[in-house]
Amino acid sequence: MNFGFTEEQELLRAEVRKFLDQNCPLEEVRKLCETPEGFSRSLWERMAELGWVGLTISEEGGGVGLGWVDLVVVLEEVGRSLFPSPLLSTVLAAKAVDLNGTEAQKSRWLPGLADGSRIGAVAITGDEGRLDAAGIALEGRPDGDDFTLDGEKLLVMDAQNADILVVAFRTGSGEEDLSLAVVERSAKGLNIEPHRTMDLTRRMGRLHFDGVRVSADALLGSAGSAWAAIEHLQDCAAAAVCAEMVGAAEGALKLTTDFANQRVQFGQLIGRFQGVKHPLAEMFIDIESFKSLCYYAAWLLDECSPEAPLAVSRAKAYASESFARIGVDSVQLHGAVGYTWEYDIQLYLKRAKWARPAFGDAEHHYQRVAKLRGF
């Protein structure tokens, strides 16, 4: 029994943290937010060279072949730094291909994703971020062995920068009518419109499909039987977002604790007031707890355990609920400077607003936990 990371994983964490601290402190993050692309191509390329982009991609696909537990280590640090990049999206798109693609499809798409030359994105939820099968509305009309897509997808992470999009669509009204396919950016009839997001470190977009043709060889798995794969991808995504939330929440706690240890009012450090120190202690308790849930969920995903969905939902529910509160409380504990554009704490509040509903909010996941636990 061992619920900790290996030496290699700790080393990986230290390297990622050093890289981000040196190359992308929060001033740099703010600058990237102002750019049209919203991230740094050069840092992205270096991360790919270091093997972090292809970390979870199979070795045959040109990646390192590690698991979600290893990814958690990287994403925690990425979250802590609020580092803007299409890492999460690319990893998920690759996962979809890796798990569901044929050999031909893997060799067609994975190497480019692994070496960072092509960016991936996933459009696997319904509008308003709905996660159930019925929520997936994009329609695909069979046309011989091919399909023609008409409709749209909202809230697609990193859509605007993506070269390869993994898209869920339906050909009928049931759960057994869902399919998953790769659509390339260059596809005719595909139009990508950026969303305006509160969290500027997180780019999202709206996909318009106007008769976009999906050929049979772009289908991941067989037509109409993709729901299990989609649900699994959503779980992988939720666990990955949780890992970022762990890091980001720790970042917010650190900023706020440092502030409480330096701001003086009534002749003493405000960190001495229990109205300040107790909320900080509560943040710590919650972060450590959803951290445990997140690690365990990642491990179960790697083990392909049937318990993974329950573990993911427990983690994402707890994380969504408490990170949202941490965002608000940490701004409040800063007083007025916390409300300024200049102070960094607001960046974490905005991240919490993004992360809360991403791949299921607390209420969604608590309801799923109740169901899976037979309540």
Partner 1 sequence: MDFNFTPEEEAFRDEVRAFLDENLPENGTRDMEAVAEFQRRIREKRWVGFSWPKEIGGGGGSIMEQVILKEEMARRKAPALGACFMGLAWVAPALIEYGTEEQKQRFIPDILDGKYQWCTGYSEPGSGSDLASLQCRAVREGDEYIVNGQKIWTSIAMWSKWMILLVRTQTDVEAKHDGISCLLVEMESPGLTVRPIKNMAGGDMFAEVFFDDVRVPVENRLGEENQGWKVTVSALAHERSSISEVYGLTRSLERIKVLAKSCHRNGRPASEDPGFRSRFARADARIEAMRLNGMRFLTKQLRGEPLGSETSINKLHRAQLEIELGELALEIEGGLGVLVQGDSAVPDDGLWQRHALSWPEVVIGGGTPNIQKNIIAERVLGLPKD
Q: Which residue ranges make up the site for partner 1 (CB under 8 A)?
A: 1-6, 69, 253, 257, 260-261, 268-269, 271-274, 276-278, 280-282, 284-285, 288-290, 292-293, 295-296, 299, 311, 314-315, 317-318, 321, 363, 365-371, 373-375
Q: Which of 213, 204, 159 is nearest to 181 (CA)?
A: 213
Residue placing its CB nearer to partner 1 in the complex, 14 or 216: 14
Residue placing its CB nearer to partner 1 in the complex, 179 or 322: 322
Query: Cβ of residue 247: shortest distance to partner 1, in angstroms?
Result: 17
Q: Beta strands 204-214 and 146-157: pairing type?
A: antiparallel
Contact predicate 303/342, CB 8 Å = no
Query: Cβ of residue 356: shortest distance to partner 1, in angstroms?
Result: 15
* 123-to-94, 100, 144, 207, 284 alpha-carbon distances in Å: 13, 15, 24, 9, 34
Query: Cβ of residue 325: shortest distance to partner 1, in angstroms?
Result: 13
Residue placing its CB nearer to partner 1 in the complex, 19 or 68: 68
Q: Is 183 left (phi over 0), alpha (psi -120 to 50) or beta?
A: beta
Query: Cβ of residue 375: shortest distance to partner 1, in angstroms?
Result: 5
Query: Cβ of residue 320: shortest distance to partner 1, in angstroms?
Result: 11
Residue placing its CB nearer to partner 1 in the complex, 4 or 144: 4
For residue 196, with 0-12 CB atoms within 10 Å meaning exposed, 13-18 middle and 19 or more buried, which class applies?
A: exposed
Residues 6+ apart with CB under 8 A from 3: 292, 295, 296
Q: Which of 241, 251, 234 is nearest to 316 (CA)?
A: 241
Residue placing its CB nearer to partner 1 in the complex, 167 or 311: 311
Residue placing its CB nearer to partner 1 in the complex, 100 or 322: 322
Query: Cβ of residue 311: shortest distance to partner 1, in angstroms?
Result: 8
Count CA within 13 A, CB hemisphere, residue 194. 13
* 342-to-83, 333, 336 alpha-carbon distances in Å: 18, 16, 11
Residue placing its CB nearer to partner 1 in the complex, 89 or 234: 234
Contact predicate 361/314, CB 8 Å = no
Query: Cβ of residue 346: shortest distance to partner 1, in angstroms?
Result: 21
